[in-house]
Amino acid sequence: MLASVGLFLFRRTDNGGRQRADDVPLYSVLHDQMNDQLSAFEGREFLVRSLDLYGNGYARIERDQRGQVVALYPLQAPSVVVERLPSGRVRYRVSDGRAGTVVLLQEEVLHIRGPSRDGLVGVSAIQLGRQAMGLRISQSQTATAMVDNGLRPSGVMSYPEKINAADRAKLRESVSERLQGSANAGQLIIMDGGATFTPLAFSAEDAEFLASQKLSNEDVARLFGVPPTSVGITDKATYANTEQEGRALVQNCLGPLAARVESALRRCLLTPEARRSLYVEHDLSSVLRGDVQARFESYRIAREIGAMSPNDIRRRENEPPIPGGDIYHQPANWVVLGESGSPGGVQ
């Protein structure tokens, strides 16, 4: 989801404001095209997924003759080994099945790391919560086995007289071939020889298996800081708390993740001199935007107190500016405390 959020390179202005630095090649790499084969969205999605799965996201940096970043080439995290040299610098050994092993210096690699134990290599949420993830995987395998072997817990086939082992094995094989599995669910059973079929009163609901699966799903979502409603767990969702959980998604999941990615981009892609005037930032306002009525009500308040101009509002809504729309207004009855509204001052 973070890959769908706008990522921009900004330049600080002299008046304390900012403007998009679209004249810098890095702007296009982060916002439009990461390299000749990947769009910025695809490349950022790859890096974020690698960060979630392995705790680290890597990309090889390509620079032009002026040292400007002109492309990023994502690397498979399992193929990268990070080493700290005696000098304190870091190097990366990248294994390639065709070209062997390539050694890259720290200036040549974008490294987005997750929470780290040594400050060098990140640890993924899957590793930190491997017990919860393992329980969820085991439950999924159990559910699959229950579907594939659906005949076994469904009932008991009994005969009035004892049958030998060979006939029992042949009967079990015959019934399994015709009735076992989800594709044969609901097939009619026809048996002779006085056989009776007694269904067993056992189901996944009776064993509270489904309830335990829901709890495991919530545990996995909690590892990544994701609200349950964002991953389709809507048991406790209401009209009142859905918007609040949307804000919780930004505050507890997307916000910290965006800050982690931004800090890595500044550290690896900008020189110390460039950091004085340039910085990278996600635009999370699109995720926080509420319904139309609440959004325009906030715009109205911001314009009335002079915080936004009509064109500021139109830019937020991706609308073109209008003539005279850059004028800021304030209420006419607002005066400095202790002064009157007349030109003469205090009366």
93-134 residue pLDDT tens: 999 777 689 999 999 999 999 988 888 999 887 777 665 556
73 and 155 fall within a common domain: no
119 and 267 fall within a common domain: yes
Q: Identify the helix (H) or strand (E) that includes residue 197.
A: strand 196-199
Cα separation, 180 vs 184, whole angstroms:
6
44 and 82 fall within a common domain: yes
Domain count along the chain: 3
Tell me whether residue 77 is in a domain. Answer: yes
Structure tokens at 216: 């495991």
Q: Of the residues 193, 210, 227, which one is the last residue of a structural domain? A: 210
Tell me whether residue 243 is in a domain. Answer: no
117 and 8 fall within a common domain: yes
CATH of residue 101's domain is 3.40.140
133 and 191 fall within a common domain: yes
Residue with tokens 């991706």: 318
Tell me whether residue 280 is in a domain. Answer: no
268, 272, 276, 278 alpha-carbon torsion, rounded to 10°: -30
11 and 114 fall within a common domain: yes
Owning domain of residue 326: 289-347
Tell me whether residue 172 is in a domain. Answer: yes
Tell me whether residue 138 is in a domain. Answer: yes
Q: Which residues pair with 203 in a beta bridge?
A: none
Tell me whether residue 59 is in a domain. Answer: yes
12 and 53 fall within a common domain: yes
64 and 157 fall within a common domain: no
Q: Is the Cβ–Cβ distance between 68 and 127 less than 8 Å?
A: no
Q: What is the pTM of this model?
A: 0.67
Percent of the chain with pLDDT over 70: 67
How many CA atoms, within 13 angstroms, populate the side-chain half-sphere of residue 175? 21
160 and 72 fall within a common domain: no
74 and 171 fall within a common domain: no
Q: With a cut of 60, say whether residue 207 has pLDDT above it.
A: no
Q: What is the pLDDT of residue 209?
A: 56
Of 179-183, 283-287, 315-319, 339-343, which range is least confident? 339-343
Q: Between 191 and 247, whose confidence is greater?
A: 247
Tell me whether residue 152 is in a domain. Answer: yes
Q: What is the pLDDT of residue 91?
A: 95
Q: With a cut of 60, say whether residue 154 has pLDDT above it.
A: no
113 and 192 fall within a common domain: no
Tell me whether residue 44 is in a domain. Answer: yes
23 and 54 fall within a common domain: yes
Q: Identify the helix (H) or strand (E) that includes residue 219.
A: helix 209-223
Residue with tokens 């000749």: 36
Q: Could you report the per-residue pLDDT of 295-320, keeping only the tens digit for each?
A: 788 888 999 888 999 999 888 776 88
